[in-house]
Amino acid sequence: MKKFLVLLSAALAFTSCSDDDFGNANNGLQPVNFSVNLKYDPITFNGQSVNGGSVILTNTNTGDTYTIESGTNGIANFPAVIPGTYNITATKTLTSTEFNTQFGYTPETQTVLFNGAQEQVIINANVNATELKLKTVRIGDLVIKQISYAGSHAQQGAVFRDQFIEIYNNSNETIYADGLCIGQLYGKTSTTTAAYTLASGQFDWSKSIGMTAGSSANTDYVYADYVIRIPGSGTTYPILPGESIVIAQTGINHKAPLVDNSGEPLSVQNPELTVDLSTADFEVYLGDYRLALGEDVYRFDIQNPAVTDMEIAYWGRQGYSSPNKDLIIDNLGRDSFVIFRGDDLNSYQNFPDPSIASITNTTKFFIQIPNNKIIDGVDLQHYNPSSQRPKMLQSQIDASFINCDAAYNSQAVYRKVKSIVNGRKILEDTNNSANDFVKFKANPRGFAN
């Protein structure tokens, strides 16, 4: 069953700031009042005000938050906000009856969620208000349930070798995983701005060499380093309702001693810190791919014949293959992932990142994935608030982000259980990772609650 959500898409005006914008230098930072005006999309919902929308301001440097609800006029007034740079998120849920009363027709679902986000909003004496507009988006039935990216202790655990991704069937119908793609996205890892970035610090892909899409290059697409794909003929790999598949970086028992591809023995001093992935459904093995390029197999890319290999759908433009030796997730949390179905990835365009001024034989190219092909997506984030990166995903896919507490701490991010119907767990799926996910010790096929 498909469901629809409504997304807040922000239109914020930015102004330049002077030394005095953040308060009197002699007296320190002086709190200012700030307001967020929530409105429904003027085309779809006639620009009506959002009453009772929950708005959160999060200071990007300290992690401090302010939460206020909007009034009947749609305005959320924040008194005494410390000047700085903030991320804004907002949510509003209407029951079917409330939605009908507000807009005059019955929605397809029992509840309709409105959410959205805006990054890198400067709040100071000169910038004290903004307006957010609501738009609708679609959510799929397959969801990313768990991302185990932090890894385990470098000396006592398995370092990064035990990373995995779990995908869950959140519907009441069997879905076949055959042909499902997982994209590991590419973007900037700092909010520093430049001539080739947006105001948030994220790449302005409209400035990539060969790009003709204009501003839609940033709003209608994401860009991936790597794409892996589940094999099959179309009905080979069913996922039953309430069941999941696990895609391991390396599908072996990481609790046990092993010998790597160079013949070096590896031991795990504390098996409790890591996981057994020998029963994973799929693993990402690049050995054959690298051998075909005349490269050595990565020492830790150990193939388990009992675990089905994922297809390497994209690892860089032909002739410009990526040097990355395995599907390694950044254990600081600076990655984003999407799941999607693409009939012919060869028809998808690829571009260098916008900072590249000329093409050389070492240039990397990133595949352009249309947002309307994406089934689900999750923005991870650096655990240190002062080291956070710009979001890669548009807020209709993920309105916020989620992170583990540290690197190498054995944690994963899990999607929360929303309800249980006839024994089947239904997971949270509001397109807002801060609401949908929590962090716990990694456990393949485990649940957060």
| DSSP per residue, 308-371 | EEPEEEESSSTTS-----S----TTS--EEEEEE-S-GGGS-EE--TT--S--TT---EEEEEG
| C-alpha span between 422 and 361 (Å, rounded) | 57
SS3 154: coil
Q: What is the pLDDT of residue 136?
A: 65
Residue 73 gets which letter from DSSP? Answer: T
3-state helix, strand, coil in the chain (%, to 5): 10, 35, 55
**Six token digits for residue 427:** 């997971």
SS3 200: coil
| C-alpha span between 192 and 199 (Å, rounded) | 9
Residue 75 and residue 55 in contact, taking contact as beta carbons nearer than 8 Å: no
Whole-prediction pTM? 0.82
Q: What is the pLDDT of residue 25?
A: 39
Name, in order, each residue with C-beta under 8 angstroms of 263's C-beta and a sequence gap of 6 or more: none
**Residue 221 CA from chain centroid, whole number:** 14
Rounded mean pLDDT for each run of 10 residues along the chain, 449 residues in total: 38 38 52 92 83 91 92 95 90 88 84 79 92 70 97 95 97 94 97 94 97 94 97 96 97 96 94 98 96 94 97 92 91 97 92 96 96 95 93 90 97 96 91 94 94
Q: What is the pLDDT of residue 428?
A: 93
| C-alpha span between 40 and 432 (Å, rounded) | 18
